[in-house]
Amino acid sequence: FFLHSEDVGKPRAQVSAPRLAELNQYVPVSVLDKELAPEDLALFKCVVVTDLPLHKKLELGDYAHQNNICFISTEIRGLFGYTFNDFGKQFVVEDTTGEEPLSGMLAGIEQSAEGIVTCLDETRHGLEDGQLVTFNEIQGMTELNGCEPRRVKVLGPYTFSIGDTSSLSAYVRGGLFQQVKEPSRVAFASFRDALQAPEFLFSDFAKFDRPAQLHVGFQALHAFSAAHDGKLPRPGNDEDAAEVLRLANEINDKCEQKAELDAELLKKLSYQATGDLSPMVAVFGGLVAQEVLKACTGKFMPINNFMYFDALECLPIGFEPSEADLAPIGSRYDGQIAVFGRKFQEQIANYREFLVGSGAIGCEMLKNWAMMGIASGPKGVIHITDMDTIEKSNLNRQFLFRSSDVGKLKSETAAAAVVKMNPDIDGKIVTHQDRVGNDTESVYNDAFFMALDGVTNALDNVEARQYMDRRCMFYRKPLLESGTLGTKGNTQVVVPYLTETYSASRDPPEASIPMCTLKNFPNAIEHTIQWARDLFAGLFTQPAENVNAYLSTPNYVQTALEQSNESSKIETLTSIRDCLVTDKPLAFDDCIAWARRRFEELYNNTIRQLLFNFPKDTITSSGQPFWSPPKRAPDAIVFDPSNDIHVDFVVAAANLYAFNFGLKGSRDRDYIKAAAAAATVPEFAPKSGVKIQVNENENNNAEADVESGELDELIASMPDPSSFAGVRLSPADFEKDDDSNFHIDFVTAASNLRATNYGITVADRSRTKKIAGKIIPAIATTTSLVTGLVCLELYKVIGAGSGDNTRKIDDYKNGFVNLALPFFAFSEPIAPLKQKFAGRDVSDWDSVDIEKDITLQEFIDYFANEFKLEVSMISSGVTLLYSPMLAKKKAEARKAMKMSEVVVEVSKKEIPEHVKWITLVVCCYDEDDEDVDAPEVRIRVRD
């Protein structure tokens, strides 16, 4: 993809270097202008060798091993590939998993020889035998606070042993355990030794016998190359394949651990030896790049020794390779033709695919498709949609974008970039900026989907994925799905009638934080960050929106009065009155004073009221201290102008409030500090009778806190909207990626102040941004590997065959990877759940299709005559069209109407012009009065 047609004949390194340097100006890129010698490696921490003769790899590997240089060898031959690591005799891995250290709250510690620790039964501790932990905040057995890490023995999901605690003080209450990550030392064999005594990381346990065979096979290819002046076996040549097999047997006979060689497997390896496939390069490129990072940083566990991988299932159904079909034709696709042949290359070129999203995965996908020649034929086309523009933060992983592209549309920029890589697809990419959803079905309509061969998702949210899944199910199009989370990645292939749909299985919902925990009893930094994020909206977003609605909506107060309870009405109207009257700033100094009052209210007054209601020595009805874990007893904070976090809060809050009112802010900390210290703060005294919710299931009656007549007084004090003609506030819509807008600054300060209230360890700006912004970690290595796996599945979809000769479900692979461990798992997709209907098996892919718009009575008769079923209920979306409860006169009237007319009549909405089919859900029962689940029913209402 860095090489263009005009570069043919030029040195690849010289051409690639400047284009590679464009990706990141901070990474120096240089070219070695001489024959590589072992001593040249001395300057480097890590070296990766690819297309070199075996004797040269052995020479470099020996030097690297002797000089403690991390050595990686990797090779790809068609649908086969391997990588090998030698990181020296004593390589230190600082973090073997990359996961956050585990922590948890304690319920008790035994004073015994075993030292059994019991955690609160809210969450499992998650520890494993042999891991290390330390402790803090323990009352009683204080010797454990900050102790040297102790090794644990897991006794159960909530208990573990830490060894003898009999000589320590008696445990009283509280405390946290914290896992301590332990560096691991790993010894690696040299490349030369590993060739003779290999160890394998298995990438696919369904191919348990493959690595040993491929280990011999790759050596046989090198032996063949050495005997033929560096040339590899010719594609599809049986004579060359026979020689490779002979060499493989000779090598195998000399091995201590002999492999059972499959002649057919080695024949395919020989046939594909000159093959070069972009998806395989993406898989191994991403994998090896992560291994390089491991070598340089010691973070994550490296592959030790060899890992082999093959994707032979990608070969087209009915594929019978011939030397003529596999022979090079002088095109850019010769490396692909050497594997799949010219006929299949034509299928690839004329494929019509829809790519939904052109972010990190979308960019990698387009790059691979361009190299594969997708849509390069006369009938081929690629549709891309992405409504977003390019941001600076995209540049570290979205390969097709450069600094000069910031602010441009992603879909258009990505399309232009891949056309430069492969001019064959010029004019074959159609870009869209419309998001996929119900509101754009006039754009992505029946004609659009029916003209497609398949869909590939490159999305970052479940809702859009599920929507595209429904569309693919409706139009019966294959869907390729994938996602990444840091070093983790997954792929899923959805094939009509053969596999379950994406929505058929889903992850469990994220655990939510109880409201009472957020409001009054936080015990983790995640709680205070979420509280601060909600506070941001409650101070700088919602009030401004309320004011704008009040000033622009007739009878707004009357509308507000229809809200659910008195407390909500008062809260809304109070926020409006405060913004327009009580707390309306005239200058930035007023904003500083407002921020200082908010500090006092949030971090002093509220905490004092809480401790007034529940003093630290409060005992519950069961005789237990009220402030027992997981509750933390808070302390009020007194404003201190010399404390940076206190000033951070006032600076951010004052500037955000000024933004709401269109006033000019300031970053002068000394000025703001002095103004805040001089601000007048009302005296506060805790009140009796204030209700505070303690438990999530407690009925916290908000109405109880509302005094009689309070709402009427508030309404009477509201200013006249007509006196604010032309006035509008500016709501602050939370934006995590703009470092100049004070949004993350406010959330960080607000969260850390609340954490200080409750004795929780504060979080830095980066961690706060990650949690508050719900940032999903994304890295280029995982993106590349996952995209490569998806494109391998695309080969299978394109070459799936037809009629009776189609691909079986076990050819497809859903993938799960974690590059940190490293871990690879591939499984065949799950078949769709089937049920009986009208004597046949049906799944979500099936439907009852009626090709013309019939009346409701004809519809009921159709089910009775065709399926011997009595229709009891019919619905379209959320609209109930027919049921036994329907009045007889109304039912008779509807039975005479066309189904499209019934939908319009009942829903009170016209069927959009682009909709050709209406879909119905039908409930029915058989002759034995048993309920029968019917497939979705589709009725054509337009041609």
Catalytic residue IDs = 516
- From residue 620, how far is each of 40, 139, 140, 615, 628 by CA, in Å? 73, 19, 21, 11, 10
Q: Which two tokens stand for residue 348?
A: 């690839």
**For residue 822, cis peptide bond before it (omega within 30 degrees of 0):** yes
| Among 129, 126, 104, 108, CA closest to 117 | 108
Neighbours of 712 (CB within 10 A): 9
- DSSP codes joined into one string, 785-838: HHHHHHHHHHHHHHT-EETTEE--GGGS-EEEEETTTTEEEEEPPPPPP-EEET
- Give the separation between CA 510 and CA 302, rounded to whole angstroms: 31
Q: How far is residue 589 from each of residues 652, 677, 683, measured CA to CA in Å? A: 13, 12, 21
Q: How many Å apart are CA 911 and CA 446, to the nearest integer?
A: 14
Question: Residue 898: how many CB atoms within 10 A of its CB?
Answer: 17
Residue located via tokens 């570069």: 7
Whether the CB-CB separation of 311 and 247 falls below 8 Å is answered with no
For 310, phi and psi rounded to 5 degrees?
Answer: -140, 160
Structure tokens at 562: 């229809």
DSSP H or E stretch at residue 592: helix 588-600
* 904 class by beta-carbon count within 10 Å (0-12 exposed, 13-18 middle, 19+ buried): middle
Q: What is the DSSP string of 704-767?
A: GGSPTTHHHHHHHHPPPGGGGTT---------TT-TTSSHHHHHHHHHHHHHHHTTPPP--HHH
Q: Helix, strand or coil for residue 208?
A: coil
User: In angstroms, what is the C-alpha Rg of the chain?
Assistant: 34
Q: Give the dihedral sign, CA 468/406/540/557.
A: negative
Residues 376, 353: Cα–Cα separation, whole Å: 12
DSSP-assigned beta bridge partners for residue 835: 842
DSSP string over 846-879: -EEEESS--BHHHHHHHHHHHH--EEEEEEETTE
Six-digit token pair at 761? Answer: 């360890």
In whole angstroms, what is the distance from residue 12 CA to residue 2 CA? 9
Contact 346, 329 (CB under 8 A): no
3-state helix, strand, coil in the chain (%, to 5): 40, 15, 40
Nearest residue to 390 (alpha-carbon basis) of 424, 354, 417, 359:
359
Please spell the DSSP secondary structure of 329-386, one letter per residue: -SSTTHHHHHHH-HHHHHHHHT-EEEEE--SHHHHHHHHHHHHHTTT-STT-EEEEE-
